[in-house]
A and B are shown apart, each in its own frame.
Chain A
């Protein structure tokens, strides 16, 4: 079974600084997807960034980027120029690639609570 581990229950960063959230996973699959989701107090799950395992290039979305190390099974999220609106729970998630239609269920880590200090 796949597992996703987020070892930092809580992280704090000054506004405008950079912060990195850690995530490791365990799988025997060679083809899969990795995600970071943000959950603000509203509870809405918002997709932040996605990485396909077969792509060596790290995904980037504006201030958000990942460091994907496939051999180490590591998938960290870097947030640059932190803003107050970035404060939320961040969940790392895994999904195996699926040859058919649709998508399999996601396996989530327990989350990291990110605090932004003004």
Chain B
């Protein structure tokens, strides 16, 4: 039973390019969460999605960031026109229905050069 899978593990983008981060939840999980971790910081909640629905995006920056969790396929966190300040580790977590525990992927480290 595979855990939460994130890819790529490392992503390098030039300023102004787009970054797409993918997350496949654990089998049977229908709830996905994205977090961002800046250097020397804890994880900060960004967005909570269920299949085809955004439930809570209170932690998402208002511009350039978007997330989706389609009926088929992985959840995608998309960052348009990246800037140096977007450099961070981005973690995805998933949970099942009425489950108190979220399981984390290994994260994607985004570096903007």
A residues sitting closer than 8 Å to B (CB atoms) are 4, 6, 33, 37, 42-47, 50, 52, 91, 95, 101-111
- How many A-B pairs have beta carbons closer than 8 Å: the answer is 73
Chain B residues with a Cβ closer than 8 Å to the other chain, count: 31
Nearest 8 CB-CB pairings of A with B: A105-B45, A108-B42, A102-B31, A45-B104, A101-B97, A108-B43, A110-B42, A103-B95
- Cα A47 to Cα B104 with chains together (Å): 9
Let me know if A105 and B101 touch, CB within 8 A.
Answer: no
B89 proximal to A (CB < 8 A): yes
Interface of chain A, helix or strand or loop or mixed?
loop
| 14 sample A-B contacts, Cβ–Cβ < 8 Å, listed by A number | A37-B104, A43-B89, A43-B107, A91-B42, A102-B31, A102-B48, A102-B55, A102-B97, A102-B98, A103-B101, A104-B48, A106-B43, A106-B45, A108-B44
Interface of chain B, helix or strand or loop or mixed?
strand
Instruction: Decide yes or no: A102 and B99 within 8 Å by CB, A45-B91, A45-B104 being known contacts.
Output: yes
A91 cross-chain contacts in B, Cβ below 8 A? 42-43
B residues sitting closer than 8 Å to A (CB atoms) are 30-31, 33, 35, 40-45, 48, 50, 55-56, 59, 89, 91, 93, 95-104, 106-107, 109
- Cα A103 to Cα B32 with chains together (Å): 9
A110 cross-chain contacts in B, Cβ below 8 A? 40-42
Q: How distant is B78 from chain A, measured CB to nearest CB, in Å?
A: 19
